[in-house]
């Protein structure tokens, strides 16, 4: 044998030995089905049989309970403010140093699992940066990959996908909401391609657009890039990576904890980004990702705020409640992967340890919510009639929020403002928010989404989190989120449905005050001038053109069919950075919507009144009014040459009786021309007023 051949054989022998050694040290990932993995965990725990979970189909004999009289078989919750030895927790120091660690230990051991000590380090890189528009808002989008160190087990690769979007106009670091979702990353091969239809006319803008408009950024973090949402994936993803492809042990983490770990690694990156206000990063999710959002917030105190959407069992719902989804559903082979292996014990009907049920759990959902205290925590649900199923147990989640309240108060925060009797407290009515504290609740009238609650969430969170709203173009609809404006909108919707309206006044506070019950002198002037012409006032104070557009697109003109529409708006759009061109675009858009919704009506556009409180605004007002005079298909009325300071109130903005009479004298000839003289009787709906004045 030649020396060269001998060397070759030696090299081959060494390579074979290395490969054999690697094979023995690095087993290939298990490729079990979910059923096989589930059975393995049962065997590890000594479980011979599990109780089947109830069905969500009410026509089946094993359907879930929806009888409130049978909903509380375990009415006594673990005391959130009592140590395991029974001693009461009376100070914040006791909470942080004693009680909170006890609760975390119980959740990690029995419910959600532990993040392992060998969880991999994640290194982030930006793969793409581009300028985009989110609706009308310019933004900067960055795609990032977080590579989990797999040097200890190269057979599994985990690259966390995150999409970060910030307002292009931001001049200082912005707060960010992290959303569980795929973002701009393409779906994996073979995954369904979800093409969602655009929101219906009049719907709120997408959450992403609302966030940017309010001066926030957002970051999509893709849970599927962290851990698969099935039991077969437990030997893969980050859980499989740390276990070297082998099955879990009973207290190992499940998918909820893994997704939360991934979100925390995303926050690690955000803390290094100078464009982000990393002290004010929030987390959001809906359904199973609502569970994950709550878990993220509970365990990582760096997150400042959470929006928990329709989370149900494993999230905000009490495990001890017998309503809808049950512990036995979570311990079945379809959902067990969310939880720690030990959680299966609480669905066991026959095991070496006997049997256990929800009443044996050492902790419950109220304590998961309490782990978020005193940080901003918003619990969101929809209604069953629209698809947010009874299965989720809205009342049980509300009870959990009530029961978490004492911890918020102990730590100096405000809770829901209810009593501590979670057994008796009932949910508020739909669309009635409990938004005065750091712990908040709101059930909207939509389906399995938190979409209708975003505007309320942002207004609520914005009271505590510094942000600089991005100016919304004047021709884009924007909701007013304060409760009084919501009540006024409901009033005006009811007024519109009453019919009998021939003249429809639209605008801001200048229009509103004239026909409002809370300004009796002005209302008397309104009646003297317009009685018999069936005039109704639909103005609302402080509205900009954006807000008027939103109200119009949300039903305030639908089905009214007036003969004349009088519009006076735009004064609230005037500001340091707002141009006459932008205000004109907004008013032009309002006119376009009015014409579309009332095609036979004559539109009477009134020029913006002079503002002697802001003399610098007068040239802008003059320019806007010149533009309005050029609008096609409308009547234009400008009375500014008659409105001097004696025609305005002390605020130098709103007309007094003299000013309103000048406006009436300009309008009445048009009304007579189009409608004839006023009738003896008036059929317009009764006037309304400011709901807060009742």
Q: Which of 494, 496, 505 is nearest to 543 (CA)?
A: 505
- Does pLDDT of 12 surpass 70? no
- For the chain, the straight-line distance linking the first and the last C-alpha, in angstroms and rounded, comes to 106
Average pLDDT for 371-390? 98
**pTM over cut 0.85:** no
- % the chain with pLDDT above 70: 93
Of the candidates 435, 403, 409, the one whose C-alpha atom is nearest the C-alpha of residue 318 is 403
Average pLDDT in the 472-486 region? Answer: 85
Residue 269: the pLDDT is 99
Least reliable range by pLDDT among 69-83, 202-216, 581-595:
202-216
Q: What share of the chain is helix, strand, coil (3-state, %, to 5)?
A: 40, 15, 45
Which has the higher per-residue pLDDT, 120 or 189? 120
One CATH from 3.30.1490.190, 3.20.20.70, 3.40.50.1110, 3.30.1360.70 for 483-693: 3.40.50.1110
Q: Is the pLDDT of residue 196 over 50?
A: no
Whether pLDDT at 159 is above 90:
yes
Contact 568, 508 (CB under 8 A): yes
Of all residues in the chain, the percent with pLDDT exceeding 90 is 88
> Tens of pLDDT along 627-637?
999 999 999 99
> Residue range 524-536: average pLDDT?
99
| Kind plus residue range of the DSSP H or E element containing 148 | strand 137-148
Pick the residue with more confidence: 470 or 19?
470
User: 11 falls in which pLDDT band (50, 70, 90)?
Assistant: very low
Residue 197, token pair as written in the block:
């239809």
- Locate the domains of the chain by residue range: 27-59+226-252+319-357, 483-693
CB 465 within 8 A of CB 217: no
Q: Would you say 402 and 440 are in contact if contact means Cβ atoms under 8 Å apart?
A: no
pLDDT for residue 575: 86
Please report the pLDDT score of residue 201 as a whole number: 52
Average pLDDT over residues 452-462: 96
Q: 5 falls in which pLDDT band (50, 70, 90)? A: very low
Banded pLDDT at 393 (limits 50, 70, 90)? very high
* Residue range 341-361, pLDDT digits in tens: 999 999 999 999 999 999 999
What's the mean pLDDT in 165-181?
Answer: 96
Does position 513 have pLDDT exceeding 70, yes or no? yes
124 phi and psi angles, rounded to 5 deg = -100, 145
CA distances from 76 to 25, 79, 321, 358 (A): 50, 8, 10, 12
Q: Which residues of 48-63 are buried (b: 16+ CB within 10 A; e: fewer)?
A: eebbebbeeeeeeeee
pLDDT at residue 187, rounded to an integer = 64
How many Å apart are CA 294 and CA 289, to the nearest integer? Answer: 8
CB neighbour list of residue 551: distance below 8 Å, 6 or more residues apart: 489, 492, 538, 540, 543
* Model confidence band, residue 200 (pLDDT cutoffs 50, 70, 90): low
Give 278 or 11, the one with higher predicted confidence: 278
- Average pLDDT for residues 602-625, to the nearest whole number? 97
Predicted confidence band of residue 31 (pLDDT cuts 50, 70, 90): very high
State how far the Cα of 8 lies from the Cα of 6, in Å rounded to an integer. 5
Alpha-carbon gap, residue 122 to 300, rounded angstroms: 17
pLDDT at 198 (0 to 100): 53
């Amino acid at each position: 044998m030649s020396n060269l051949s001998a060397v070759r054989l030696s090299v081959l022998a060494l390579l074979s030995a290395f490969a054999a050694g690697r094979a023995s040290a690095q087993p290939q990932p298990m490729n079990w089905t979910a059923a096989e993995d589930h059975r393995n965990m049962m065997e590890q725990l000594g479980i011979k049989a599990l109780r089947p979970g109830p069905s969500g189909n009410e026509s089946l004999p094993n359907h879930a309970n929806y009888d409130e009289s049978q909903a509380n078989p375990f009415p006594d919750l673990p005391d959130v403010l009592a140590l395991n030895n029974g001693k009461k927790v009376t100070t914040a120091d006791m909470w942080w140093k004693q009680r909170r660690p006890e609760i975390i230990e119980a959740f990690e051991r029995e419910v959600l699992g532990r993040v392992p000590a060998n969880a991999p380090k994640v290194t982030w890189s930006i793969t793409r940066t581009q300028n985009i528009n989110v609706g009308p808002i310019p933004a900067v989008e960055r795609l990032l990959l977080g590579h989990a160190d797999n040097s200890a087990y190269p057979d599994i690769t985990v690259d966390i996908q995150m999409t970060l979007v910030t307002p292009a106009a931001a001049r200082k670091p912005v707060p960010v909401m992290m959303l569980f979702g795929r973002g701009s990353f393409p779906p994996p091969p073979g995954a369904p391609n979800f093409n969602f239809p655009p929101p219906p006319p009049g719907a709120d803008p997408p959450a992403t657009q609302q966030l940017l408009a309010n001066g926030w950024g957002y970051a999509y973090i893709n849970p599927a890039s962290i851990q698969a949402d099935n039991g077969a994936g437990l030997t893969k993803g980050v859980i499989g990576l740390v276990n070297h492809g082998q099955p879990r042990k009973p207290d190992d983490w499940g998918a909820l904890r893994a997704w939360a770990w991934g979100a925390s690694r995303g926050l690690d990156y955000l803390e290094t980004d100078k464009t982000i206000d990393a002290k004010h990063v929030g987390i959001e999710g809906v359904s199973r990702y609502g569970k994950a959002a709550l878990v993220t917030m509970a365990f990582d105190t760096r997150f400042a705020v959470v929006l928990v959407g329709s989370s149900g069992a494993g999230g905000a719902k009490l495990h001890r409640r017998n309503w809808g989804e049950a512990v036995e559903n979570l311990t079945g082979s379809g959902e067990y992967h969310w939880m720690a292996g030990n959680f299966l014990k609480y669905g066991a009907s026959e095991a070496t340890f006997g049997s256990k049920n929800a009443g044996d759990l050492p902790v419950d959902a109220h304590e998961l919510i309490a782990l978020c205290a005193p940080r901003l925590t918003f619990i969101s649900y929809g209604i069953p009639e629209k698809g947010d199923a009874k299965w989720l147990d809205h009342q049980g989640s509300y009870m959990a929020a009530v029961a978490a309240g004492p911890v918020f108060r102990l730590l100096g925060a405000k809770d829901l403002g209810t009593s501590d009797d979670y057994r008796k407290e009932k949910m508020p009515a739909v669309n009635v928010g409990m938004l005065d504290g750091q712990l908040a609740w709101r059930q909207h009238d939509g389906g399995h989404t938190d979409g209708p609650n975003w505007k309320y969430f942002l207004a609520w969170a914005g009271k505590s989190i510094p942000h600089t709203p991005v100016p919304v173009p004047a021709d884009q609809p924007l909701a007013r989120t304060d409760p009084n404006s919501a009540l006024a909108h409901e009033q005006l919707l009811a007024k519109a449905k009453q019919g009998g309206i021939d003249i429809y006044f639209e605008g801001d506070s200048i229009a509103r005050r004239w026909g409002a019950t809370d300004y009796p002198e002005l209302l008397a002037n309104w009646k003297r001038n317009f009685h018999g012409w069936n005039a109704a006032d639909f103005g609302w104070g402080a509205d900009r053109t954006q807000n008027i557009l939103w109200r119009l697109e949300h039903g305030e003109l639908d089905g009214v069919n007036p003969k004349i529409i009088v519009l006076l708006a735009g004064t609230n759009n005037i500001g340091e950075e707002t141009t006459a061109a932008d205000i004109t675009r907004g008013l032009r858009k309002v006119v376009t919507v009015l014409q579309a919704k009332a095609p036979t009506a004559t539109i009477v556009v009134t020029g913006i009144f002079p503002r002697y409180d802001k003399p610098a605004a007068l040239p802008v007002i003059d320019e806007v009014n010149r533009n309005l005079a050029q609008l096609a298909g409308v009547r234009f009325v400008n009375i500014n040459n008659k409105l001097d300071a004696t025609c305005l109130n002390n605020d130098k903005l709103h007309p007094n009786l003299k000013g309103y009479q000048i406006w009436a004298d300009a309008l009445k000839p048009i009304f007579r021309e189009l409608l004839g003289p006023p009738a003896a009787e008036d059929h317009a709906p009764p006037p309304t007023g400011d709901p807060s004045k009742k």
